[in-house]
Structure 1
Amino acid sequence: MRIPSIPGFDQQALEKYFKNTGMSFIGKVGSLIITMLVNIKIANYLHSTNFGILNGAITYVYFFQAVTSLGLDYYIVKELHQFPENRDRILGTSFRLKLMAGLVALPLIFLAYQVYPARSTPYLFVLILSFTGIIQSVNIVDPYFQSQVQSKYIMQVQVVSYLISAVIKLSLIYFFKAPVLWFVYAFLFDWVLLSAGYIITYQRKGRSITQWKYNGELARKLVSYSWPLIISGVMVSIYMRIDQIMLQNMRNAAEAGAYATVVRFSEAWYFIPSVIVSTLFPAILNARRDDINRYKRRLQNLYDLMVYISLPAAIIISFAAPLIYKLFKPEYAYAAPVLAVHIWSGVFVFLGVANGQQLIAEDYVRMSFIRTGFGAIVNILLNLLLIPKMGIMGTAIATLIAYACSTFFIILIPKLSRQGIMMLKSLFLVSLFQKIFIFEKK
C-alpha cells in the first residue's frame, strides 16, 4: 500500500520508514483500543471514588518515571548504532543504571508522599506501584530492537502483554469481584508481563542477558549526556500530572476518578505526534544542512501537518463527548463537557512536540525544559485558582491554558520568536490559506 504524499518531504524515504514502523504503529493503536475498553470496564466497576483512589497511586508513581528511566533510551539507541560491537557492555551498563535508579526512587517516593500525599490513596498502593521503576529496568531491550530496526518484536510483546493484562483485569471484575487493591497489583503485573516478554524475545533472537556487562566509564558518559533529559522528564511529569493530584487533594477522590477518565481519553493519541516527527525530522535536518529556506518551509509544513491532524480530532471529540460517556455509568456523565474542553490541549501538544524537536536540532535543549517548567508553574497556579470554584472543569481549563502557554512561550524569546509565529500561522490556518492562494494564482 502506498502512503499519502506529504508536501515538502521525500516520498521514498517516508515509505521506507513506514515499512519499518508501520506494524509497530498498528500495534500501538490496537493496544490502545484494548486498554481503553478495559479501563472503561474498570472505571464502571470500581465507581468514581475507588477509581480516583487507584488513579491517585498510578499518577503519583508516574512523577518518578523520569528518574527511573534516566532519559537513557535515546542515547542507548545512539550508542548501539555507533558501537554495535559493544552491545553487551552498553545494555549491561544501562540496565545497572536503571536498576539503581529504580531502587533510589523507592525512598524518594516515600519522602514525597510524606510531604504531599494523594488524599484517600493509601501509601500501600503507592508503595506497590513504586516497584515498577525496578521492574522496567529490563525495558532497555526496547531501544536495542529500535537500533536494529526491529520494532515489530516490541510490538508483538506489547500486544500479547496487553491482551493477557486485559484478561486478568476482566477476570478480576467478572469472576472474582475483586477489591481495588487487587487492581493495584494487576497494574504492577502489567510491567512484569512486559519485562518478561522483552527478556524472552531477546533470548529467542540468540542473545543472552547473562552476557551483559557493566562499565563505569560508559555509565558516567551516559549519565552526563542524559541528565538534562532527566530534569526535562521530571518537569513534563509535573506539568502533565500535577493537576490530577491537586484535584484529588482539593476536592475528593470521586472527582479525581471522573477526571481520570477524561485524561485517559484525551491523552490516548499523544503518541501520534512523536511518530510523525521521528518520521519527518531527518528530512528536515537534511534541509537545514543544505538549504536554510527549504528547512524553514519544511518546518512550516510540519507545524501545518500537526494542526491538520489535531484540529479535526479535537472538533470531532468535542461533539462526540456526550456519546463517549454513554459507555460509562451515569455517575461519570458530568465529565463529558470536561472532555470537550480538555481535548483541545492536544492541539498544543502536537505543536509542542514538533517544536521541541526543532529546539533540540538547533541546540536549545535548555529552553525545552525551561518552557516546560513555565507550563508547570502556570498549571499549578491556575489549578489553585480554578479548582475550588469550578472543580474538574477548572482543572481542564487550567491544563488547556498551561499547554498553550508552554507551547508559545518561545514567542517571548527574541531568537526563537520566529518559530512561535510559524506555529501561530499554522494554528490559525494562515499558512493553509497562503498555500491555497498561491495554488489558485498558478
Structure 2
Amino acid sequence: MRIPNIPGFDQQALQKYFKNTGMLMLAKVGSQVIKMIVNSFVLSTYLGTERYGILNYPMALVTFFMAIAALGLDGFVTREIVNHPERKGSFLGTAFWMRMAAGLLTLPLLYMVYLIQDHFKHLDTPVNYVMIVGLVSVVQSVNIIESFFQAKVQGKYVMYVQVFGNIASAVIKLLMVFMQAPLIFFIYALLLDAAILASGYLLAYRSSGNSIGEWKFKPALAVYLLKRSWPLAFSAVLVSIYMKIDQAMITSYLGEAELGIYSTVAQLSESFYFLPVAVVTSVFPAIIYARKTDHARYLKRLQNMYDLMVVISVSVALFMTFASTYIYHIAFRDHPEWWAGAPVLAVHVWAGIFVFLGSASGQYLIAEGYFKLSMLRTGVGAIVNVLLNIYLIPKYGIIGAAYATLVAYAVATFFILFIPKTRAQGVQMLRSLFLISLFQKAFSR
C-alpha cells in the first residue's frame, strides 16, 4: 500500500512506518463500510426507530463499563512486551485475568446504573438485554492478544481478525433479517460479535506459533500493572463519556425511538474517524525523529499535520452536509420516520474537524510527555458534553445533542490554548482551522 505524499515528510520513511499501520487502516476501512451498510441502513430499516434504539441503548451504556474493564492495560502491555519480550506469557496472562475479573465486577455496577436510569424514566429496554450485552466486557478480555501483535509489529494478524469478524457479523445479521428474527436475536448477536473477535485473536495467536498455555498470572505483576495503567484506564472512561454520553442521555430524555434515529447519525458521522488515527499513527515516528534532531522542522511537521487534518475533515464535513438529505431520503426511501436524521447529521459531522485536530494534537502531547494534560482536556470535554446535553436535549431534541457534541469536541481540542506551555500548539491549530497556514503556503510558491 502506498500513501499520498505529505508535505514536510520524507515519503520513503513514511512508507516504511505505514507498512504496519496501513494494515490496521484497512481493517478499519472494512469495519466502517460494513458498519454503515448493515447497521446504519439494513438493520435500522428492518427494526424500525424504536426497536433499533432498544438495540443500541445497551451498547451505549455498556461502553462506559467496557472502558473500566479494560483497565487501560492494552497500550501499557504493548510497551512492556516490547521492552521484555521474554516475559510475554506473564504479561499477557496477568493482564487477561485482570481484565476478566474487572469485566465480571462491572456487571453488578451496570445493573445498578440501569435500575437508577429506569427509575427516573421508565425504559422500554428490558434489563436482560443490557446484562447480555454487558458480558461483552468479559469476553473482550481475550483481546489483550492484540497488544502482543502490536508489540511485534504484526498488524496483519489484527487486520485478518477484524475483517473476518466484521464480515462474519454482517453475514449473520443479514441472515437474521432474512429470517425475520426477533429483536432478542440481534441482542445476542452483539455478544456473538465479541466472541467471534475473541476466537479470531486466539486462533491468530496460536497460528503465529504461540500458545496460551504459556500464560501465567503473577499477583506482584498485577499490582505493578495496575499502579501504572490506572491513569490510562481513567482516561479511557473519560473518553467513553466524552464520546457516548449523548446516546445514553437521549434515551433518558427522549426515549429509544429518538435514540434509534440518532444512532444512525452517529454511525455515519463517526465512520470517518479511523482516518486521523491512521494518518497520525503513520507520521508520528517522523515527527518524533524531527523533535530529536531539528526543533524548527518538528514544528513545521506539526503544522503540516494539522493542515492535513483540516483539509480531510472539512472536505468530509462539506460533502456530508450537502449529501445528508439525499443519504436519508434514498437509504430510507419508504421509511420517512428516519428522515429527521438528515439535519442532525449535517450538524454532527462538523464535530469531526475537532476529532481530527484532537487526534493530531494528542500525539504532540504524548511526544512532550504531557499525559496529565491530555487526560484533563478529555475530562473538560466530557463535563461540557454532559452539561450541554442536559440543557439542549430537552429543549431541541436530538439536534441539540449534535450541537452539544460539536461544542464539547471543540472545547476539548482547543483547551490547550488556556495552558501557557501548550498555547503555541493551539495557535498552530487555529492557523490550520482558518486556513491561514494553507494560504501562506499557496502564496509563497
Q: Which TM-score band applies after superposition, normalised by the shorter structure?
A: over 0.9
- Between the aligned partners of 2:264 and 2:285, the Cα distance in structure 1 is 36
CA RMSD of aligned residues (A): 1.4
Could you say what secondary structure the match of 1:63 adopts? helix
For residue 221 of structure 1, report the CA deviation from its aligned partner. 2.2
- Does 2:11 align with 1:5? no
- Between the aligned partners of 1:236 and 1:41, the Cα distance in structure 2 is 29
Unpaired segments ≥5 residues, structure 1: none
1:5-55 residue CA offsets vs partner (Å, 9 max, x unmatched): 212222222111223333332232123212221111111111001111111
**1:296-311 alignment, distance < 5 Å:** 296-311=299-314
- Flag as ranges the 4+ runs of structure 1 deviating above 6 A: none
- Does 2:97 align with 1:96? yes
The answer for the alignment partner of 1:22 in structure 2 is 22
**Correspondent of 2:247 among 239, 244, 248:** 244
- Between the aligned partners of 1:225 and 1:269, the Cα distance in structure 2 is 32
- Does 2:152 align with 1:145? no
Quick one: which amino acid aligns to residue 124 of structure 1?
N
1:53-98 residue CA offsets vs partner (Å, 9 max, x unmatched): 1111110001112111111111111111111111211111111111
Could you say what secondary structure the match of 1:416 adopts? helix
Distance 1:129 1:343, change over 3 A: same
Could you say what secondary structure the match of 1:6 adopts? coil
The answer for the alignment partner of 1:64 in structure 2 is 65
The answer for the alignment partner of 1:54 in structure 2 is 55
The answer for the alignment partner of 1:413 in structure 2 is 419
Could you say what secondary structure the match of 1:116 adopts? helix
Moved more, 42-51 or 5-14: 5-14
Contact kept? 2:22, 2:278, Cα under 8 Å: no
Contact kept? 2:287, 2:298, Cα under 8 Å: yes
Contact kept? 2:25, 2:274, Cα under 8 Å: no
Contact kept? 1:21, 1:152, Cα under 8 Å: no
1:226-275 residue CA offsets vs partner (Å, 9 max, x unmatched): 11111111111111111111111111211111001000111112122112
- Between the aligned partners of 2:241 and 2:255, the Cα distance in structure 1 is 20
The answer for the alignment partner of 1:132 in structure 2 is 136
- Between the aligned partners of 2:21 and 2:412, the Cα distance in structure 1 is 30
TM-score, normalization by structure 2: 0.95
The answer for the alignment partner of 2:161 in structure 1 is 157
Unpaired segments ≥5 residues, structure 2: none
1:165-184 residue CA offsets vs partner (Å, 9 max, x unmatched): 11211111111x12211111
Aligned length: 438
The answer for the alignment partner of 2:222 in structure 1 is 219
- Does 2:373 align with 1:367? yes
Could you say what secondary structure the match of 1:43 adopts? helix
The answer for the alignment partner of 1:44 in structure 2 is 45
Moved more, 237-246 or 117-126: 117-126
- Between the aligned partners of 1:94 and 1:310, the Cα distance in structure 2 is 36
Moved more, 92-101 or 186-195: 92-101
TM-score, normalization by structure 1: 0.96
For residue 351 of structure 1, report the CA deviation from its aligned partner. 0.4
**Correspondent of 1:173 among 174, 177, 183:** 177
Quick one: which amino acid aligns to residue 13 of structure 2?
A
- Does 2:356 align with 1:355? no
Quick one: which amino acid aligns to residue 148 of structure 2?
Y
For residue 135 of structure 1, report the CA deviation from its aligned partner. 0.4
For residue 2 of structure 1, report the CA deviation from its aligned partner. 4.5
Could you say what secondary structure the match of 2:421 adopts? coil
- Between the aligned partners of 2:405 and 2:24, the Cα distance in structure 1 is 30
Quick one: which amino acid aligns to residue 57 of structure 1?
P
Moved more, 16-25 or 240-249: 16-25
1:114-160 residue CA offsets vs partner (Å, 9 max, x unmatched): 33348322211110011111101111111211222211122112212
The answer for the alignment partner of 2:190 in structure 1 is 187
Contact kept? 2:99, 2:141, Cα under 8 Å: yes
- Between the aligned partners of 2:278 and 2:226, the Cα distance in structure 1 is 26
- Does 2:275 align with 1:272? yes
Distance 1:185 1:383, change over 3 A: same
Could you say what secondary structure the match of 1:64 adopts? helix
The answer for the alignment partner of 2:406 in structure 1 is 400
- Between the aligned partners of 1:303 and 1:221, the Cα distance in structure 2 is 37
